[in-house]
Structure 1
Amino acid sequence: MPRLALYALVVCALSVVAAVVAFVQGSLLGIVWVLLAGLTSNMTWYYVRRAKAEKQAKAAIAPTA
């Protein structure tokens, strides 16, 4: 897993926890944490798919002898 994807995944998990804590405390600030979790989730998938595509492109270029 690429390093940026791993960092985005960690931030996503922390934002989900922060959102739950905020909503349990009755704060509407949890909405911001939910939005951040969505953003970082998309970033994680983007970096994972990009690394997978780069890996496939390198495999297609390299000779299979």
Structure 2
Amino acid sequence: MPRNALYALTVLVLAVTAAVVSFMKGNWLGVVWILMAGVASNIAWYYLRKDRAERRAAAAGRG
């Protein structure tokens, strides 16, 4: 798994946790954490797909 994807997944988990805590305390700032989790999710997905495409291209070049 690419390092950038791991960082993005870490941010995703932390943002979701912060959103849950924020909403449990009655603070609407949790909406910002939800938006950050969405961005982190997209970044992780991008790097995972990029890595998969690079591996397939490398395998096709060797064959």
TM-score (norm 2): 0.97
Q: Give the root-mean-square deviation of aligned CA atoms.
A: 0.6
Higher helix fraction (1 or 2): 2
State percent identity of aligned pairs: 56
Residue number in structure 1 paired with 2:51: 51
Q: What letter corresponds to residue 35 of structure 2 in structure 1?
A: L
TM-score (norm 1): 0.94
Larger Rg: 1
Count of equivalent residues: 63
4+ residue runs of structure 1 moved beyond 4 angstroms? Answer: none
- Aligned ranges 1:13-28 → 2 under 5 Å: 13-28=13-28
Distance 2:9 2:42 in 1: 9
State the shift of 1:62 in Å: 1.0
In the alignment, structure 2 segments of 5+ residues that lack a partner are none
In the alignment, structure 1 segments of 5+ residues that lack a partner are none
